[in-house]
Amino acid sequence: MFKSTITVALIAFTAYLVITLFMPKKREPLSLQQLQTAMIVDVRTPAEFAAGHFKDAINIPLSEVPSRIDAFKTDKLLIVYCRSGNRSGQAVKQLKNHGITAINGINQAHLEAIH
């Protein structure tokens, strides 16, 4: 009985450590002011962008991100988005490799909510 109690406690403690150390931290939602003053980049295709995009967003398709790194250099909050968050997540990683901080912060659901 004592061994099984210790085993359960160790498993629970290990699970706690994994969750707290390795799971991504949830960040606060972006405010309207942050969205209004941010540089917003849509990394979807030009056709997807033409079908609808955030006001004042610029379109730099994911395939062009490596060759257009300088276009991402800004003093503003940089938000990158796409339909699902997958392509924008890839773009954020590429930008990070070049020392540029960006947020993978919005997706198609957000886009539909404002239209």
On whether the CB atoms of residues 50 and 81 are closer than 8 A, the answer is no
With a CB cutoff of 8 Å and minimum separation 6, the contacts of 105 are: 30, 79, 80, 81
Catalytic residues: 82
Virtual CA dihedral for 83, 84, 90, 95, nearest 10 degrees? 60
